[in-house]
Structure 1
Amino acid sequence: MEVHDLKLELQRHFSDGLVTIVGSGLSCAEGLPGMTELASHLCAVVDDGLAPADADCWAMIAPLISTKGLEGALLEIAPTPALESKIVQKTAELIAARERGIVHQVFARTRTLRFTRLLGQLLKPDAGVQVVTTNYDRLVEIAAEEAGLGVDTMFVGHFAGEMNEHESRMSFCRDVKVQRTRAQLRYRSRVNVFKPHGSLDWYHREGKPVRYSGDLDLPRLIITPGLNKFRNGYESPFDRHREKANAAIDRASRFLIIGYGFNDDHLETHLTPRIRSGVPTLLLTYGLSPNALKLAEECSNVIAIQRAVVGGREGSSVWAGGAETQIPDLVLWDLDRFISEVLEP
């Protein structure tokens, strides 16, 4: 495929019915820790102060991380409840500390997030831009507000905001137009953000999930990889966000997938079958995971773009129609460069 034709095909992808899936690759591109750095951090700090039974459990898990990775190790041996709480705490501390530095730059107007630029190029349907993210950080929400859009996470309130899907949606209503006996509600343009793995600003208060944007010395509601993910995923608020995410995936006319590795069973029961059914899909990532590569090879409706070095020069490896083409000097796998090369005039 010629570069000109490829860019036209990519531009046509950004039309009605688009659902965006955001994985850890996008956050890593902004400077947040990836799974490898997180695993190293946990190995350095988790065992401090553990009770004997929890320390014994961690002693079995930790050696597996170097060979199986963090998720593989936690899938093989489930942590005790106290150990899982420690893993959640230390994971959140690392991500939140790195996130603060990025937020400071965005607040000072010295940095524009990649996702902010992307949102400026997307259609804004009345029902909102649909975004599903497996990330704990708040960069998607921050990017949306920086793009001048509202953010609907199904929580209402600034201090200990309660989860209330209806009130959250209605808070974006800006006008009512009455025609005869019918009333038509008009909403502010917004991004609906579904986070099936939780968020750094989710806590429990009196047994109910709440949102508080600051740091509290309390356990945050995030689901770490491993066996316990499946149990925790069916508790509030994860269950409702998972249901809404899957509903958006089921309705999608096309997918934009950024930095996601297709390794999450909470989404894969819906996402991969939809892609295999023929839904047009554009995948941007630094490197295709084995599951993502399999989809690119087997599904002609998938365009997948990853980093490549061609003739000693940085470029892109583009899978389209099940075939790979390497293009030197054209960096499309990074969202910033993709926007500049394809979406902006």
Structure 2
Amino acid sequence: MMPAALDYDAFLTELQRQFGDGLVTIVGSGLSCAEGLPGMGALATHLSAEIPKLVSGADAALWDELAAEITAVGLEAALLKKPPSSTLESAIVGSSASFIAAAERRVVADVFTGKRTLRFTRLLKHLLKPSTGIPVVTTNYDRLVEIAAEEAGLGADTLFVGGFAGALNETESSMSFCREVSLQGKIVRTRYQDRAVILKPHGSLDWYHRAGKPVRYAGDLDIPRLIITPGLNKFRNGYESPFDRHRERANGAIDRATRFLIIGYGFNDDHLETHLTPRIASGTSTLLLTFELSENAIALAREHGNVIAIERAIVGSTEGSRVFWNRTLHEIPDKNLWDLGTFISEVLEP
């Protein structure tokens, strides 16, 4: 497919139209990678070095088989092809969480000391703030979305309530953002703090089990965290608390959406795809920003005119963007619209 000419001003106007009522934002690992957290390739390298130190016997033999598959097809595909045992999976979860948490601490320190403003913080300031909260669905384990929300002056509703061993209680979590209750005639009216409702169907670095129940604790504990690694086992684990409730709320938000903003997500997760891809295919307006479009994402952009997809490209001799708009391929030199920071500067803060 040869790139077609692009009316850039008309394209910017169309991009701005995407930010209206009913927007649900989907955040994948690409956004965290842009902030300095490891992606799947770096995680695979880390696991290849660390897991042999943590396992023995049958698990060591199984890991040797998995390591060969990871080299051949990548981490996610390998874990789908050959799911680990429960004990090997525990080692993978623990090592993955520690590796990501260490990188997260470095990014958070920069935010805390004012050296960095997260891209998502800038974005949230431009999104409409419905009274029910801004729905954000993320497959990431890190807490950058939560931090970005608070840095933008918003609340971060994670469905948990409490600072120490916070309990999963979505009603109390929502009510904790109520700022005023008034009676107008016979009608009770409530006013809530503007907030993001952050739904994490794959878990979070601050989720743990305590006395058989899921809890949220912001610090680092030397006990297993509740995260789901890629692979077939995630389907078994995804139906346990708190993953099940976050997944149900995420799918409900996707089903009600009138438009999607999808950032750094590869369309390779069946937990979400059951709802997300059919909604896009049905005509829901969709804007996709990513470093590199997956084959699934390209197929959606080529088949459905309601999808605008933007990825990195070398245009001529400079870095720019490749765009699918109205099922037509375009190239934009010198403008990295695929990067959320540049997108905000060019489209939302021109």
Which TM-score applies when normalising by structure 1? 0.99
Distance (whole Å) between structure 1 residues aligned to residue 225 and residue 104 of structure 2? 15
Instruction: Quote the offset at 1:340 in angstroms.
Output: 0.3
Instruction: Quote the offset at 1:51 in angstroms.
Output: 3.1
Instruction: Give the secondary-structure state (helix, strand or coil) at the position aligned to 2:25.
Output: strand
What is the total number of aligned residue pairs between the two structures?
Answer: 345
Does the aligned pair in 1 maintain the 2:54–2:91 contact within 8 Å? no
Question: After the TM superposition, which of the residue ranges 243-252 and 51-60 deviates more from structure 2?
Answer: 51-60
Structure 2 match to 1:293: 298
Distance (whole Å) between structure 2 residues aligned to residue 287 and residue 62 of structure 1? 25
Structure 1 match to 2:125: 120
1:309 aligns with 2:314: yes
> What pairs with 1:42-57 in structure 2 (closer than 5 Å)?
42-57=47-62
Match of 2:93 among 88, 93, 114: 88
Does the aligned pair in 1 maintain the 2:37–2:103 contact within 8 Å? yes
Match of 1:33 among 38, 41, 46: 38
Q: Deviations over 1:287-327 (max 9, x none)?
A: 10010010011110000000111110111111001110011
Structure 2 match to 1:188: 193
Distance (whole Å) between structure 1 residues aligned to residue 324 and residue 77 of structure 2? 28
1:166 aligns with 2:171: yes
Structure 2 match to 1:250: 255
> What pairs with 1:96-245 in structure 2 (closer than 5 Å)?
96-245=101-250
Which TM-score applies when normalising by structure 2? 0.98
Instruction: Give the secondary-structure state (helix, strand or coil) at the position aligned to 2:32.
Output: helix
Instruction: Quote the offset at 1:49 in angstroms.
Output: 3.4
Letter matched to residue 277 of structure 1: S
Structure 2 match to 1:14: 19
Does the aligned pair in 1 maintain the 2:310–2:337 contact within 8 Å? yes
Question: After the TM superposition, which of the residue ranges 327-336 and 197-206 deviates more from structure 2?
Answer: 327-336
Instruction: Give the secondary-structure state (helix, strand or coil) at the position aligned to 2:74.
Output: helix
Across the aligned residues of Structure 1 and Structure 2, the Cα RMSD in angstroms comes to 0.7
Instruction: Quote the offset at 1:99 in angstroms.
Output: 0.4
Q: Deviations over 1:213-269 (max 9, x none)?
A: 000000000000001010000000000000000000000010000000000000000
Distance (whole Å) between structure 2 residues aligned to residue 73 and residue 314 of structure 1? 32
Shift of the 214–11 alpha-carbon distance from structure 1 to 2, 3 Å rule, reads same
Instruction: Give the secondary-structure state (helix, strand or coil) at the position aligned to 1:324.
Output: strand
Shift of the 49–325 alpha-carbon distance from structure 1 to 2, 3 Å rule, reads closer
Does the aligned pair in 1 maintain the 2:238–2:244 contact within 8 Å? yes
1:319 aligns with 2:324: yes
Distance (whole Å) between structure 1 residues aligned to residue 19 and residue 210 of structure 2? 41
Does the aligned pair in 1 maintain the 2:181–2:188 contact within 8 Å? yes
Letter matched to residue 194 of structure 2: S
Letter matched to residue 11 of structure 2: L
Instruction: Quote the offset at 1:179 in angstroms.
Output: 1.7
Identity of aligned residues (%): 67
Q: Deviations over 1:119-168 (max 9, x none)?
A: 01111111101100000000000000000000000000111101001100
Distance (whole Å) between structure 2 residues aligned to residue 106 and residue 118 of structure 1? 16
1:272 aligns with 2:277: yes
Distance (whole Å) between structure 2 residues aligned to residue 124 and residue 245 of structure 1? 18
Instruction: Quote the offset at 1:60 in angstroms.
Output: 1.5
Distance (whole Å) between structure 1 residues aligned to residue 181 and residue 162 of structure 2? 23
Instruction: Quote the offset at 1:56 in angstroms.
Output: 1.6
Instruction: Quote the offset at 1:3 in angstroms.
Output: 0.7
Instruction: Give the secondary-structure state (helix, strand or coil) at the position aligned to 1:184.
Output: strand
Q: Where does structure 1 differ by over 6 angstroms across 4 or more consecutive aligned residues?
A: none
Distance (whole Å) between structure 2 residues aligned to residue 99 and residue 310 of structure 1? 33
Does the aligned pair in 1 maintain the 2:69–2:78 contact within 8 Å? yes
